[in-house]
Amino acid sequence: MVMPRCGTFDYAAVIPDPNDAGALECRAEQRLPVSSLGDELADSRLVGLAPSLSIADAESSPDHAPRSRVTLNAGSHERASVASASFHVDRMLVSFLRAGDVLYVSRSMCAGLGLSILREGQLIAAAGDITGVPLGNDVTARYPGALIDEAEAVFRRHDPKFAFDETPLELNVMGTRRLLSRGQMTAGPFNILVVHGFIRGFPGIELCASIARPPLCSPAAINVTANLLADPLAFTMRQW
């Protein structure tokens, strides 16, 4: 069973200049309009429709890797399920952010976290569930549902209960189309890593992948970030 819409979000935030303490603070907004249907489960989002977003240094991970914490604060109860939510990214990734970049962060109905960074409409980096965030004009990422149904139908001629345990990611990068469940590739200016595809279950585990455009972003920083986003224990919420 997937979570209701009130447990998800899909925010965009324009990166500002850092403050005197070196932290980044700005406003995020729901990327697409949310209708008011009079149903709290459908009308609300996890931390509201326009939370504040901050990025600051955090304690190192258990393996001593430096991290930064991204925090979303609702500010009010209006159409918000929790007061705040936070997750970690690799600290080096933050150093690649520039004022004016647009940071997109999302949480799916399977609790998958994703982020992407666009600069003047061009993808700089993406991590986690990259199917849930904008990737600019050069990259698209999706689940190839119809293709998987077609492939499973072939196997079910011999085993009526056959189903793939893991669904690959379909990537189209500057006209190059690939299907990857796991592995690395280079396409155009991008370094791409697919840690795993969508793992089926109830509700399932969202895919984990990363895309970097060197030298504008370090592949190492975005690869670490992808794994941080995939760790369910790294996502925390504060109730009202």
pLDDT (tens digit per residue) in 70-93 = 999 999 999 999 999 999 999 999
pLDDT of residue 60: 80
Predicted local distance difference test score (pLDDT) of residue 232: 83
Q: What is the pLDDT of residue 35?
A: 85
Cα 38 to Cα 232: distance, rounded to the nearest angstrom = 31
Rounded CA separation 156/67 (Å): 46
- Quote the pLDDT of residue 1: 59
Residues of the chain with pLDDT under 50: none
Query: Tell me, what's the pLDDT at 195?
Result: 95
- Cβ count near 221 (within 10 Å): 21
Q: What is the pLDDT of residue 119?
A: 98
Predicted model pTM = 0.94
**Would you say 194 and 166 are in contact if contact means Cβ atoms under 8 Å apart?**
no
pLDDT at 23: 83
Let me know the angle formed at the C-alpha of 102 by 61 and 132, rounded to the nearest 5 degrees. Answer: 70
Contact by Cβ (8 Å): 124, 118: yes
Q: Is the dihedral of CA 235, 74, 13, 172 positive or negative?
A: positive
What are the tens digits of pLDDT across the range 176-193?
Answer: 999 999 999 999 999 999
Alpha carbon of residue 236 to chain centroid: 15
Identify the domain containing residue 80 by its residue range.
5-238
What type of residue sits at position 15? Answer: I
Q: Number of structural domains, the chain?
A: 1
Contacts of 137 (CB under 8 A, 6+ apart): 121, 122
Other CB atoms within 10 A of residue 101 CB: 18
Non-local (6+) Cβ contacts of 201 within 8 A are none
